[in-house]
Chain A
Amino acid sequence: MNGLERRKSNYDEPFNFWSGILFGLGMVAFIDEVVFHQLLHWHHFYDLSTTNVGLISDGLFHAFSWFATVVALFMVADLRKRKVWNFKRWMGAVYVGGGTFNLYDGIIQHKMMRIHQIRYNVDIFYYDVVWNVLAALMIIVGLILLKKKKTPSPLKKIGDV
């Protein structure tokens, strides 16, 4: 069996898109854990003002983001093997996925469910603004990248080699 031939399927476009979304979501959750929880110690492991709904929401999202990262990387491996990985579209989806998760985390989980705050003993308002504006910017960048997908797709070039 020749593993180098290009194999296409009708599912490649959505497959690229969802792989990016899942990876973006997982990556942001990972950065959140490493940077804000472990390195800076800004976030708390468990803030006693957390609501029960918040605890459940955080648990589900944490579990899902672990799973999403792994699945997304296997999807990329699959796309690359078949030489149908559209990197630009994928990156666009990564930004949208990451930004959406951050926005959810920043508005619903931090503010409404009070899982934990970005930082303690500081004026939290500016932190919240920066956090959510960054999240919105990520979504916008992602959408721009996704929009430009009609230009000759890079996968043809890869296929020619």
Chain B
Amino acid sequence: MHHHGGMNESTSTFEWLSLSMPFVLLIVLYIVAVIYSNKKYRKWPVYRTLCWITGISSIALACFGPIAEKAHSSFQAHMFTHLLLGMLGPLLLVFASPMRLVLRTAPVKIARGIAKFLKSRYVQWITHPILATILNLGGLWVLYTTELYSAMHSVFLLYILVHLHVFLAGYVFTVSMIYIDPTPHRTSFFLRSTMLILAMAAHNILSKWIYAHPPAGVELMDAQAGGMFMYYSGDAVDLIIVIVLCYQYFKNRLGRKTVQT
């Protein structure tokens, strides 16, 4: 609880620096890897680097700073941080294709280890659209329909775990739907679209549920504004995933199912 108080006071310069350090480091590492990879392979697209920078920044913004501090008292602000941490951030990171970059630049031994990990049973399970959807949307339902939401604000460890889960589940979900990084375990377009539709439905049903049944400790007006924000912003990010999913499928379809006349 004492940490909580510390977060609300204006953050000192030292705190700012130490909190932003890991995020800055991730961006620097990525850029170094890009420069290194450009010397050996085809040029790494600039948009991927931009996606990485904006993606990492979104997540940083959700973790500390003015919006993250406001999220402790305002449900609307909380919803905004969740959009950044669980949907927009992961999507941008997926567009940045970090695994491909690591495989290009890491020493062969390490790269082999990573490739082996990507092919493992564990990754196959966790990135299966059904499990990824349950982890992602199930987690949100548990968070907002049980006592977890209010408990999270009083126990700091819970707060960290919940946010870590929201990010990881969001990333795994995105990876299970669209294939931008090397993806050894692929599932059918039909299965992925079905799960995506169910996930979108579960998301907008939950946002209406929140609109009508505020989580403990949230005022009705705040919950209504937060619920509506969740509904529309979720649709916007999901729309991008739908477009990429369809684009990838139809790009390949033309060659497969037609005969020339």
Do A and B originate from a single complex?
yes
B250-A62 in contact (CB<8A)? no
The verdict on A46 contacting chain B, using a C-beta distance below 8 Å, is yes
The verdict on B158 contacting chain A, using a C-beta distance below 8 Å, is no
The verdict on A63 contacting chain B, using a C-beta distance below 8 Å, is yes
**Which B residue sits closest to A15, measured CB to CB?**
B257
Number of interface residues of A (CB under 8 A): 27
Q: How far is the CA of A7 from the CA of B253 in the complex (A)?
A: 12
Q: How far is the CA of A77 from the CA of B247 in the complex (A)?
A: 11
The verdict on A71 contacting chain B, using a C-beta distance below 8 Å, is yes
Contacts A46-B208, A59-B202, A63-B204; A6 near B250 (Cβ below 8 A): no
Q: How far is the CA of A46 from the CA of B227 in the complex (A)?
A: 10
Q: Which residues from B are CB-within-8-Å of A60?
A: 197-198, 201
The verdict on B261 contacting chain A, using a C-beta distance below 8 Å, is yes
> Chain A interface mostly helix, strand, loop or mixed?
helix
> Chain B interface mostly helix, strand, loop or mixed?
helix
Contacts A9-B258, A45-B228; A71 near B197 (Cβ below 8 A): no
A81-B211 in contact (CB<8A)? no
The verdict on A133 contacting chain B, using a C-beta distance below 8 Å, is no
B200-A66 in contact (CB<8A)? yes
A63-B198 in contact (CB<8A)? yes
Q: How far is the CA of A9 from the CA of B261 in the complex (A)?
A: 9
The verdict on A157 contacting chain B, using a C-beta distance below 8 Å, is no
Q: Which residues from A are CB-within-8-Å of B253?
A: 78
The verdict on A8 contacting chain B, using a C-beta distance below 8 Å, is yes
Q: Which residues from B are CB-within-8-Å of A82?
A: 254, 258
Contacts A55-B205, A59-B205, A82-B254; A67 near B242 (Cβ below 8 A): yes
Most chain A Cβ neighbours within 10 Å, of B201, B239, B243, B254 = B201
Q: How far is the CA of A60 from the CA of B198 in the complex (A)?
A: 7
**Which A residue sits closest to B206, measured CB to CB?**
A59
A70-B250 in contact (CB<8A)? no
Q: How far is the CA of A74 from the CA of B252 in the complex (A)?
A: 12
A71-B246 in contact (CB<8A)? yes
Interface 1/0 per residue, A56-86 and B, CB below 8 Å: 1011101110110011001101100110000
Q: Which residues from B are CB-within-8-Å of A67?
A: 193, 196-197, 200, 242
Interface 1/0 per residue, B191-215 and A, CB below 8 Å: 0010011111111110011011000
B211, B239, B247, B250: the one contacting A46 at CB < 8 Å is: B211
**Which A residue sits closest to B246, measured CB to CB?**
A74
A11-B242 in contact (CB<8A)? no
B247-A55 in contact (CB<8A)? no
Q: How far is the CA of A112 from the CA of B260 in the complex (A)?
A: 50
Q: How far is the CA of A6 from the CA of B127 in the complex (A)?
A: 38
Interface 1/0 per residue, B213-233 and A, CB below 8 Å: 000000000000001100100
The verdict on A161 contacting chain B, using a C-beta distance below 8 Å, is no
The verdict on B259 contacting chain A, using a C-beta distance below 8 Å, is yes
A7, A46, A62: the one contacting B258 at CB < 8 Å is: A7
B212-A46 in contact (CB<8A)? yes
B205-A8 in contact (CB<8A)? no
**A/B interface sample: 28 pairs, CB < 8 A:** A6-B261, A7-B254, A8-B259, A9-B258, A11-B257, A45-B228, A45-B231, A46-B208, A46-B227, A55-B208, A56-B201, A58-B205, A59-B201, A59-B204, A60-B197, A60-B201, A62-B204, A63-B203, A63-B204, A64-B201, A66-B200, A66-B238, A66-B239, A70-B243, A71-B193, A71-B246, A78-B250, A81-B254
The 10 closest A-B pairs by CB, nearest first: A63-B200, A59-B205, A63-B201, A7-B258, A59-B201, A60-B201, A74-B250, A74-B246, A9-B258, A46-B208
